[in-house]
Amino acid sequence: MNDKKTESDTERNQDNGEPNDRAGRDEEKKEMELKKLLEAKEEETKDLKNKLLYLQADFENFRKRKEKESAELRKMALIDFMKGLLPVLDDFEAMEKNLKDAGHEVLVNGLLALKKNFYETLARMGLREIEMKEFDPNLHEVEAVVPADADNKIVEIVRKGYTVNGMVLRPARVIVGKKAEEQRSKPDAGS
């Protein structure tokens, strides 16, 4: 009978699941630990991916900033180069005027062709002559003010001004007209 009790006790324990229950709980515990570890590793992977994306974006911004700075440096170097050539252009214009007055037609034509070629070369690099319409303090430098029939009218160009790619390289030096006080008051007196 003792053997039977032992057998039936074992069966009862197996039916209750006590020996299997402990092993099952250990398995569940290990499974939960593995799930937590997997979740932690997935979170770590997600964080690393985000850091990588930020680093890639930072590098792209750095590259763009360096390209922009490099373009600005090239632009400034071009401006310095052109500033150095402007006196040569001024000399061509002064020589042209003096030679025309002296009557040296062939020499004048040769120099005019040289000047034209030189200016076209500078124009391809972005050099533009400042237009001389109405006085603009951003584009013109006043050499003198003389009486005229209208205010801010450019009467004479003393020295041409130039821009490079929209930036003022050298302002034009001009003589500006200003209405005399008598002329200003006449239209008001007639009203």
pLDDT at 122: 86
Q: What token pair was written down for 117? A: 């070629």
pLDDT at 11: 47
pTM for this structure?
0.51
Q: To 5 degrees, how large is the angle CA 146–CA 147–CA 152?
A: 75
Q: Which of 62-71, 149-158, 179-188 is predicted least confidently? A: 179-188
pLDDT band at residue 160 under the 50/70/90 scheme: very high
Answer for the pair 162, 82: CB distance below 8 angstroms, yes or no: yes
Query: Does the pLDDT value for residue 153 go beyond 80?
Result: yes
pLDDT at 189: 43
Nearest to 78 by CA among 139, 138, 126: 126
Output phi, psi for 26, to 5 deg. Answer: -60, -40
pLDDT in tens, 95-129: 777 777 766 777 777 788 888 888 888 888 889 99
Residues in the chain: 191
List the domain boundaries for the chain. Answer: 129-191
pLDDT at 191: 40
pLDDT band at residue 20 under the 50/70/90 scheme: low
pLDDT at 21: 74
In angstroms, the CA 168 to CA 170 distance is 6
State the average pLDDT over residues 24-45.
90
**CATH classification number, 129-191, choose in 3.30.465.10, 3.40.50.720, 3.30.565.10, 2.30.22.10:** 2.30.22.10
Burial of 45 (0-12, 13-18, 19+ CB in 10 A): exposed
Nearest to 122 by CA among 156, 154, 170, 159: 170
Mean pLDDT of the chain: 81
pLDDT at 119: 86
